């Protein structure tokens, strides 16, 4: 996803080529570097809805998974997993 697409997904009118003010959208899989599983995926999704975090989705197809994935701002995932890590409750 390029800078302009990210700005559009996040509902911004900002279209500068600078990435200083744009958060990177990524899936939990991309963030963790491994599959998150349904339970953790649902927990992250519910937290994003509670905090009114903008999300994006895309269709993926690979040998291990085919379907829709949800992407979140990296800053949200940083916050979510730092909170979890502080409580030593990471599910993996």
Confidence of residue 87 (pLDDT cuts 50, 70, 90): low
The per-residue pLDDT for 90 is 53
Q: Is 32 helix (H, G, I), strand (E, B) or coil?
A: helix
User: Which letter does DSSP use for residue 45 in this model?
Assistant: H
Task: Say how many residues make up the chain.
Answer: 92
Averaged pLDDT for residues 5-12: 45
pTM of the predicted protein model:
0.67
Q: How far apart are CA 56 and CA 54, in angstroms?
A: 7
- 15-52 residue pLDDT tens: 444 455 578 999 999 999 999 889 999 999 999 999 99
């Amino acid at each position: 996803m390029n800078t302009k697409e990210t700005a559009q997904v996040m509902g911004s009118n900002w279209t500068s080529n600078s990435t200083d003010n744009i958060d990177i959208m990524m899936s939990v899989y991309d963030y963790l570097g491994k599959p998150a599983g349904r339970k953790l995926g649902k927990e992250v999704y519910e937290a994003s809805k509670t905090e009114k975090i903008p999300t994006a989705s895309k269709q993926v197809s690979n040998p291990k998974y085919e379907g829709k994935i949800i992407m979140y701002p990296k800053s949200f995932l940083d916050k979510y997993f730092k909170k979890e890590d502080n409580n030593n409750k990471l599910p993996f």
